[in-house]
Structure 1
Amino acid sequence: MTTNDPAPTSTLAGIPVPDSRLAGEATELVRDLTDDLIYHHSHRVYLFGAHHGLSHRLAFDPELLYVGALFHDLGLTEKFRTSQQRFEIDGADEARAFLTARGIPEDRARLVWEGIALHTTPEIPHHMAPEVALVTAGVELDVLGIGYDALPPETREAVVAAHPRPDFKRRILRAFHAGLAHRPQTAFGNVKADVLDRFEADYTRPNFVRIIEESPWPA
């Protein structure tokens, strides 16, 4: 846990949900900054990630995973509409500041930072600490449907009943577009370049080979 004492929890579909002061403050902050789309998506990411961790018998800190899941898309919100760094880093920085301000050691806060910063980078998070890997696992299930068939239907139905996803596919793509349109250069190297390629008529996808060939080096 983030402290020496076990954090109080509630449960949803048999999945433990942190009910500590830290979790409550994280929930309040995210509720204030996000709309229903991102708020409920972020909770589903926690629940699906935690379920994945429990199913695979991974030892993880539920509070850290909860903060990572809830903050993972904060960079898409209105607060960061002028930011020029990757939206993932916006959310990661916000989460780390939130945790360290509440006395969480830097090495623990760093896990949350990494989980958020890497959640759009395929495969690599799955080889890292569970608090990092499980944010990506939750995102992959809720956004991409990876692991959908392995999730018990009753678990899926209970999670979606608590945190609905009306018209989610279309609305989350619009949210990605809104959060990235002013900083297209930050989509290079991760899956979000596909969003701009679909929705921005003038977007030119950066090409790694072309960048090498056109670098100032003579050879």
Structure 2
Amino acid sequence: MEDQRTRFLAGVVVPDTDVVRRALEFAEDRCETYLFNHVVRSWLFATSIASIQNVEYDREVVAIGTLLHDVTLNMSFRGPRRFEVEGADIARQFAIDAGLDARRVQLVWDCVALNSTPSIGLYKEAEVSLCTAGICLDVVGLGYEKICAVEMKAITTAFPRLEMKKRMTKCFCHMVEAAPQTAHDNFLRDFGARYVSGYSPPSSVDFVMNAPFDS
């Protein structure tokens, strides 16, 4: 039976279980302060959206997925795979170590791996969709109007943005420079094209045309 313990965080009712507390600590240990604030806001937004939409979902999976979705978003990133996949594997191991069953572990992996692909994530299981929605709200403002002004103020005051746009842009550009092979089929491509001198991403057209077949 799911642990029903809860608490208020920035005015939002969130689960207060051992695994959620460990996920918070795990994220805080691995994220810069601005990034930790981002993942917590994403969790709170996802939780609020679930309440507004009256969605039934696994609260611990959403907590783990949002809180750990950016554990590889940092200036030490070198790949070799795109940061979402590297992060998803870390989150999966966290979930396994926490004792989650196979289905819940897979949902956590999907939450993290698809966190920057809303064209897919928003249409998957409720947990993945909510994680994606909360993250996208905090990064690009998707669904901003769904959160009332009082709640938005409470969340952003408790966990301020700390120049997130500027700091994330710097980190994204570093990742393009350090591991360009991870940056051609996700949003990093756009940051590389705009801000990284000499960046020339491969084309999907070339991949198709250079496939080793006659036609």
Structure 1 and Structure 2 fold alike (TM over 0.5): yes
Match of 1:67 in 2: 64
Matched, 1:77 2:96: no
**SS at the partner of 2:205?**
helix
Tell me the alpha carbon deviations over residues 80-123 of structure 1, each in whole angstroms, 9 at most, x when there is no partner.
62331110011111111011112110111100100110111132
- C-alpha RMSD of the superposition: 1.6
Match of 1:101 in 2: 97
**SS at the partner of 1:75?**
coil
Tell me the alpha carbon deviations over residues 2-56 of structure 1, each in whole angstroms, 9 at most, x when there is no partner.
xx13242112354222221111111111111111011000001101111111111
Query: In structure 2, how many angstroms separate the alpha carbons of the residues matched to 1:109 and 1:163?
Result: 27
Q: Unaligned 5+ residue runs, structure 1?
A: none
Query: In structure 2, how many angstroms separate the alpha carbons of the residues matched to 1:82 and 1:189?
Result: 16
Runs of 4+ in 1 over 3 A off after TM superposition: none
Q: Unaligned 5+ residue runs, structure 2?
A: none
Query: What is the Cα deviation at residue 57 of structure 1?
Result: 1.2
Query: In structure 1, how many angstroms separate the alpha carbons of the residues matched to 2:129 and 2:186?
Result: 16
Which segment is superposed worse, 34-43 or 9-18?
9-18
**SS at the partner of 1:195?**
helix
The 5 A counterparts of 1:17-166 are 17-77=14-74, 81-166=77-162
Matched to 1:87, the amino acid is F
Match of 2:202 in 1: 206
1:197 aligned to which of 180, 193, 199: 193
1:122–1:102 CA distance, 2 compared to 1 (3 A): closer
Query: In structure 2, how many angstroms separate the alpha carbons of the residues matched to 1:171 and 1:125?
Result: 25
Matched to 2:162, the amino acid is P
1:87 and 1:180 in contact (8 A); partners too: no
Match of 1:10 in 2: 7
Query: In structure 2, how many angstroms separate the alpha carbons of the residues matched to 1:175 and 1:137?
Result: 22
Query: In structure 1, how many angstroms separate the alpha carbons of the residues matched to 2:204 and 2:71?
Result: 28
Tell me the alpha carbon deviations over residues 58-80 of structure 1, each in whole angstroms, 9 at most, x when there is no partner.
111111111101110111135x6
Query: In structure 1, how many angstroms separate the alpha carbons of the residues matched to 2:191 and 2:132?
Result: 18
TM-score (norm 2): 0.93
Aligned length: 215
2:64 and 2:108 in contact (8 A); partners too: yes
2:20 and 2:60 in contact (8 A); partners too: yes
